[in-house]
Amino acid sequence: MTATTTDRIFNFSAGPCTLPLEVLQQAADELPNYQNNGASLIEMSHRSKQVVSVFEEATQGVRDVLCVPDDMHILFIGGGATFQFGMIPMNLLPNGKSADYIHSGAWSKKAIADAKAVGNVNLLFDGSDSNFTTLPDATSIKASDDAAYLHVCSNETIGGVQFTDYPDVDVPIVADMSSEITSRPIDYDKFGLIYAGAQKNIGPAGCALVLIKQEIVDQCPGNLINYLNYANHVKGASMLNTPPVFQVYMIKLVMDWLKAKGGVAWAQQQAETRSKTLYDSVERNNGFYKCPVDAKYRSKMNVVFTTPNADLDAAFVKEADAQGMSGLKGHRSVGGCRASIYNAMPIEGAEALASFMDAFAAKNG
Ligand SMILES: *Cc1c(COP(=O)(O)O)cnc(C)c1O
């Protein structure tokens, strides 16, 4: 049952979302009888040499692709990005200190809510004033005197705003990079901890990739329950308990795929091309489509736009779907349309969507 590209839709869903066909095919081929062991990986002990190798290769793959420096640990932790919203303040926000947060949209809002359950939070920027269509100028951000860290969501998946530059602050930046990880290089000097739910750019849901500096691990309090403590995940090499083996295996395959394609440099180039293709159609049909996002901060991963009214938004989504382009409905909290164009979305997908956008505007404008 080999699938080909022509069997597949262009999947513009925000996450879970499209993954490389080559990766899915390799996983399908290898699943029942992994490397002639007579069993699949997900049926084997996580202490077996096969599974341990997969974890080592996935870790090395992430290190190579993302050029992760030696002083940063690479962890795979169950619970997705959402679990990190709480785990971060529990480990990084000691009594007597506070945490700085930038409120740039729906995902940072959730991170802030969990941090508030743990300790004091300062909002350095509140995007609700501008309906989350813009971001603060990086040079305007100063950390609070008692801040332990500054949290940012590098790409707000729902609102479609993406940081270009990060502030220069004297506290470590903690970043939720769920919906952009591996799509552009990272300046590690600024970051103490980076995390990403796997299901946008690197694999299946249910697992977060966490990059954490040793100096942050050193500060984790000793009185946390076992699973909540980063230091224990480091000690256990991401096998503190029975780990999400399938997710990590898929991440390994995605890293292999990315390397073969040309790595982050390739992904970044692709993201530029795909996003430009779509934003150009919005601009070309200006008046019909509107992108609410400040041009400086338009996301290269999630392109949000509206047609003249909600009925046309719905017709757009339905007609595109009928033509093999799915998942274009905007998030229920904001409406409109959204095209998520992660690494595995071929350029042809963006081109097909842009042609459809032009035709739809001509017909309904
Ligand atoms: C999807 C997403 C999350 C949530 O990820 P889960 O793995 O479902 O918890 C968090 N932050 C951002 C930016 C996301 O895009």
H-helix or E-strand spanning residue 122: strand 120-126
Cα 179 from chain centroid? 2
356 pLDDT tier (thresholds 50, 70, 90): very high
287 pLDDT tier (thresholds 50, 70, 90): confident
Of the residues 13, 77, 82, which should be mutated to test ligand 1's pocket, given the most ligand atoms within 8 Å of the CB? 82
Q: Are residues 117 and 85 in contact, defined by beta-carbon separation less than 8 angstroms?
A: no
Distance 363 CA to ligand 1 centre (A): 36
Query: Average pLDDT in the 81-97 region?
Result: 96
Distances from the Cα of 258 to the Cαs of 10, 182, 264, 271, in angstroms? 19, 9, 7, 13
User: Which pLDDT score, from 0 to 100, does residue 333 have?
Assistant: 83
At 41, list the tokens: 């990986």
Residue 236 has pLDDT above 90, yes or no: yes
| Catalytic annotation, pick one of 100, 114, 176, 256 | 176
Distance 156 CA to ligand 1 centre (A): 9
Nearest atom in ligand 1 to 82's CA: 9
Question: DSSP for 148-200?
Answer: EEEEEESEETTTTEE-SS----SS-EEEE-TTTTTSS---GGGEEEEEEETTT
User: Which pLDDT score, from 0 to 100, does residue 1 have?
Assistant: 61
Alpha carbon nearest to ligand 1 atom 13, residue: 178
263-364 under CATH 3.90.1150.10, yes or no: yes
CB atoms within 10 A of CB 322: 9
Residue 118 has pLDDT above 90, yes or no: yes
Query: Average pLDDT in the 127-145 region?
Result: 95
Distance 358 CA to ligand 1 centre (A): 31
Ligand 1 binding pocket (C-beta < 6 A) is: 15, 80-82, 107, 153, 157, 176, 178-179, 197, 200, 205
H-helix or E-strand spanning residue 262: none
Packing angle, helices 80-92 and 106-118, rounded to 10? 40
| Catalytic annotation, pick one of 100, 107, 190, 252 | 107
Q: Where do the domains of the chain lie?
A: 24-260, 263-364
Distance 197 CA to ligand 1 centre (A): 5
Q: Residue 146: which residues within 8 A CB-CB, separation 6 or more? A: 96, 97, 98
Distance 80 CA to ligand 1 centre (A): 7
H-helix or E-strand spanning residue 346: none
Alpha carbon nearest to ligand 1 atom 14, residue: 178
H-helix or E-strand spanning residue 320: helix 310-322
Strands 10-11 and 325-326 turn out to be parallel
pLDDT tens digits, one per residue of 178-208 = 999 999 999 999 999 999 999 999 999 999 9
Nearest atom in ligand 1 to 153's CA: 13
Query: Average pLDDT in the 233-248 region?
Result: 97
User: Which pLDDT score, from 0 to 100, does residue 234 have?
Assistant: 98
6-10, 310-314, 333-337: which is most confident? 310-314
Q: Are residues 74 and 62 in contact, defined by beta-carbon separation less than 8 angstroms?
A: yes
User: Which pLDDT score, from 0 to 100, does residue 2 have?
Assistant: 78
Residue 256 has pLDDT above 90, yes or no: yes
Residue 296 has pLDDT above 80, yes or no: yes
Nearest atom in ligand 1 to 107's CA: 11
Whole-number mean pLDDT of the chain?
Answer: 96
Pick the CATH number of 24-260 from 3.40.50.2020, 3.40.640.10, 3.20.20.80, 3.40.50.300: 3.40.640.10
User: Which pLDDT score, from 0 to 100, does residue 95 have?
Assistant: 87
Known catalytic residue at 311 = no
Known catalytic residue at 107 = yes
| Catalytic annotation, pick one of 100, 114, 200, 252 | 200
User: Which pLDDT score, from 0 to 100, does residue 157 have?
Assistant: 98
Known catalytic residue at 64 = no
